[in-house]
Structure 1
Amino acid sequence: MRKTDLAKYDAKKLMNKMTVPGTEFGKAVVTIDKREQRRLDQAAGLVPFATKLNAELVAQLHALAKEQGSDVGTVVTTLLKKALAA
């Protein structure tokens, strides 16, 4: 990489940092990068678990989450705990 290309790359990185979504005039919203979020999740004992579900079931999960005012992960966790306890 040439010196001028490196300078252009650094300038683009700086411009992207200045236009971060979620920032408003006079207010700065703290955003956590993916690495930090992964570290926090691991410290909390959370493990990513991917599975394929029916579209109808996913729609029901989203509707239940919206009704409860929480996220889908919380709804799935509570439903799995209830099912495994039974």
Structure 2
Amino acid sequence: MLNAQEESAVREKLTVILAEVFKVSESSIKPDSKLSDLPNGESINIIRMIALIERTFDVVLPTFVAFHMDSVADITREIAMMQRAR
């Protein structure tokens, strides 16, 4: 189980990444935001998002996992669990 502090730290960094990749304001990204609802959600931006997540968090995020995660909260939990598993 993740603690709130770990999840919050991951979510903050993830929000910056998503705002950059999808060209939206950080304040518009909420934990329940759906990736499919973000503008500029083309496949190339999803791939770019994955690369930035991997670089920022030092994890390997399989492409199929990223394409099947529904919300910011889902991605946050996945990253935090990967970090804890190291």
**TM-score, normalization: structure 2?**
0.29
**TM-score, normalization: structure 1?**
0.29
More helix by share: 2
The one of the two structures with greater contact order (alpha-carbon pairs below 8 A, sep at least 6) is 2
Pair member with larger Rg: 1
